[in-house]
Structure 1
């Protein structure tokens, strides 16, 4: 057993059967779910309810720069998170409710979970829905998707997790999931937009809190396998979760917050930039692997041929982001190869312009 689990096993095993996260930090919530999945493996049916502030969640094998408008996200304070599982990119905000069903595989039923969700919507909110395909829920009248989910069977333990669109900013779907139209080629999976609807459009009274309360009541009343002393709710505060110091949980949390996981885990891709600045016309071809510029070739009619080689050397191994590339080029302001050919101030202005061009043309 993991030594962290030995330390917290009693606290973890006695957790109530319904857990509601107060935090809206996507990284904290994904780490919490991952901790439950990998370490907890409770043999008691459990429901975890949560939601996130504005964020884009991408699949394990997706290219962050191809799926997202990273600069727009940074400007608007939208976080990026990469989940462990596959699938496409999705936008989430406070108008989105996330659910995770956990329990022993011997009595686990995705169909029962879907039936519970649909029953709550019908009985408590007058919204009629149905299952569509393997993992989606749609409204019966308009046939529009309001929930997507995934199911995993892990030995004697299973989980079923997904999202419910309550009052999501539909503008965010296009604002942040529309990549810039650049010469970007990738081996990653490109997301496909679905026809969706907010449940708020079907019932103005529904919200995250009312749905969570209704799901909690229904889950506890339909859970005969849950011991009576665990038929209760625990609100998870980020600063005081019972497993907050568990090494395995902290490992997941650190990874979720790590740039190298969110961006560096993107598939390899190539990017070609073409433009003209005062120094001349530049074509910069970059091969990006694990979020770093692994190789770069620069073609230019610049009057300083040695600068082209120096630019290649400077960009190679740099982190693929506008700020990083701009910073790397900024170091050429003191490049000795231009001595006697241009005044210092004029040279630095040209280098700044080159850096700004790279910043503006880079996807992230």
Structure 2
């Protein structure tokens, strides 16, 4: 494993729109063979999954009033809040996708580093959460492109939990499924669990101490490192322009169709926003925090014009390969959700 230095002219980049595009560049453009790791910090921002509806997941007035950026990532998963008390780590793996979907492979080095720093009870729980006791301090996600994939997540060191609770509006059913009543009750910062010498660090100092233990070195200069250069940054700037830096990408359009159905399944939350005219689907959009390598838009396309019946919906979801593009579950569960049963 090697390290990506994602500073620009020797200075950290805190713009979440820029940082969120780095994995896409490293996977699809630079394409360095092997396993690289980058760790960076964002200014206050809400990061939403590629399939999520910003208008349903985020308190947009609070976001605007507090100058918090909204950024849509290119992978699945749920909405998270970032600020200067939080680290983002991302593994970029090129040439071997055998570990895609195995969150433990990428959680283990982080967990061992944190355990060495005093958080001895830190562990991976469920599909993709790192926890201390019953409280989460990291959520992970992945996306794949050809022979490459990215796998990463957050590390809450000293995050502003009040801001996170105010700006995020998670589905009440999702919270209930986890046996909790609010965002604050199910998340925690790891700072107070670490040994005293690690409890009052700046976020950059915490990053340094974590990396030294992940790579088992006493100085970052001993880590094999690829430094992003001016040519890399020029391409990243080009990729940002007109897509990842636009409201059309980050906010998306709220379809506002007539009916909205949402349910939290084992694969994550699945939501459908749709309209029905003359007992046929006239508009359809899939949302959710599920993580897969598919494209829900394929399902959306085949649903148009479909009879609003058990048989019609079942046939359409099957034709749209819902198992690959939404998640592996009985088709009856999705049909019943759409029908409101």
Q: Paired residue for 1:268, among 255, 264, 277? A: 255
Alpha-carbon separation, structure 2, partners of 1:113 and 1:85: 16
Over the aligned positions, Cα root-mean-square deviation in angstroms equals 3.3
Q: Paired residue for 2:34, among 40, 44, 48? A: 44
Question: Does the residue aligned with 1:122 lie in a helix, a strand or coil?
Answer: helix
Name the residue aligned to 2:206: 211
Alpha-carbon separation, structure 1, partners of 2:97 and 2:89: 21
Report deviation, 1:159: 2.2
Does the Cα contact within 8 Å between 1:62 and 1:190 map onto a contact in 2? no
Name the residue aligned to 1:123: 116
Q: Paired residue for 2:246, among 248, 255, 258? A: 258
Further displaced range: 81-90 or 104-113? 104-113
Q: Rg: which structure is higher?
A: 1
Name the residue aligned to 2:225: 232
Matching of residues 1-364 of structure 1 within 5 Å: 17-21=3-7, 22-104=12-94, 105=96, 108=99, 110-139=103-132, 142-178=133-169, 192=175, 195-203=186-194, 204-205=199-200, 207-221=202-216, 231-232=224-225, 234=227, 241-246=230-235, 250-263=238-251, 265-269=252-256
Report deviation, 1:162: 0.5
Report deviation, 1:40: 2.4
Give ranges in structure 2 of 5+ residues lacking alignment. 176-181, 259-273, 275-341
Does the Cα contact within 8 Å between 2:40 and 2:88 map onto a contact in 1? yes
Report deviation, 1:212: 1.9
Deviations, residues 203-225 of structure 1 (Å, cap 9, x unaligned): 32455323322333244449xxx
Deviations, residues 116-166 of structure 1 (Å, cap 9, x unaligned): 111111113444311101211111xx3211111013344432321111111
Report deviation, 1:75: 1.6
TM-score norm. by structure 2 comes to 0.60
Does the Cα contact within 8 Å between 2:157 and 2:191 map onto a contact in 1? yes
Alpha-carbon separation, structure 1, partners of 2:192 and 2:25: 35
Report deviation, 1:35: 0.8
Aligned residues: 237
Deviations, residues 31-79 of structure 1 (Å, cap 9, x unaligned): 2221112222321321111121111112223222222222221121111
Does the Cα contact within 8 Å between 2:87 and 2:156 map onto a contact in 1? yes
Further displaced range: 207-216 or 53-62? 207-216
Does the Cα contact within 8 Å between 1:93 and 1:168 map onto a contact in 2? yes
